[in-house]
Amino acid sequence: MTIAASPDALDRKIDLNFGQIDLDRNGLIDASDVLGLAARTISASGQDFDSPKAVAMLTASQGWWRALVADLDTNRDRKIQRHEYRAGMRLLAEAPGAFDDVLRPMALAVFRLMDRNDDGTISADEFWDFQRAFGSSEAAARFAFEKLDTDRNGVLSESEVLSAFRGFYTSTDPDQVGNHLFGDALN
């Protein structure tokens, strides 16, 4: 890894992530985008919206939105522009403890939604069902699963999924396995 290549990998992930959250494609992230993404995630899991897993996801999303407004919305219009997202997410990536405070609750809520049979792990089929709802191809989802299953035991543990989220949001390494969390867009 070269120093010159490092910021690019994180910037590309942050930009990709901005596009995923900006559901109505108006170039801004606002509360309705964040709520819409939570609803889509719950819908992808097949859970009822009043189920405990869905409520946990909505709660985590509200916390995420509050953190975005508090930490990233520099011009205080309760909307996050692309440049605000890029600058703010980079600061978040570099701040010790920020991932645990802001993103870990979301990652855990997503993990529990993916774990349809509640056995504490994500099987390849559970992962594929979920990724398909977000438009990933089966090939991309299977490839990502193999990368994220770092101990190669055929399932994703909670720590493997948390590591993937942490890697996606904080690592400047273009070869970080977490870069595969949201499909193949970086490759």
Could you list the residues that contact Ca ion (CB under 5 A)?
22, 24, 26, 28, 33, 115, 117, 119, 149, 151, 153
CA dihedral (99, 59, 22, 104) in degrees, to 10, reads 20
3-state secondary structure 8-48: HHHHHHHHHHHHHHCCCCCCEECHHHHHHHHHHHHHHHCCC
**Is the Cβ of residue 50 or residue 118 nearer to Ca ion in the bound state?**
118
**Is the Cβ of residue 17 or residue 172 nearer to Ca ion in the bound state?**
17
Q: How far is the CB of 97 from Ca ion (least distance, A)?
A: 26
**Is the Cβ of residue 7 or residue 153 nearer to Ca ion in the bound state?**
153
Contacts of 139 (CB under 8 A, 6+ apart): none
Q: How far is the CB of 102 from Ca ion (least distance, A)?
A: 20
Q: How far is the CB of 4 from Ca ion (least distance, A)?
A: 32
Q: How far is the CB of 116 from Ca ion (least distance, A)?
A: 6
Q: How far is CA 149 from CA 103, 139, 146, in A?
A: 20, 16, 5
Q: How far is the CB of 36 from Ca ion (least distance, A)?
A: 9
Contacts of 101 (CB under 8 A, 6+ apart): 67
**Is the Cβ of residue 98 or residue 122 nearer to Ca ion in the bound state?**
122
Please tell me the number of Cα atoms within 13 Å of 51 on its side-chain side. 15
**Is the Cβ of residue 172 or residue 176 nearer to Ca ion in the bound state?**
176
Place of tokens 């997202």: 85
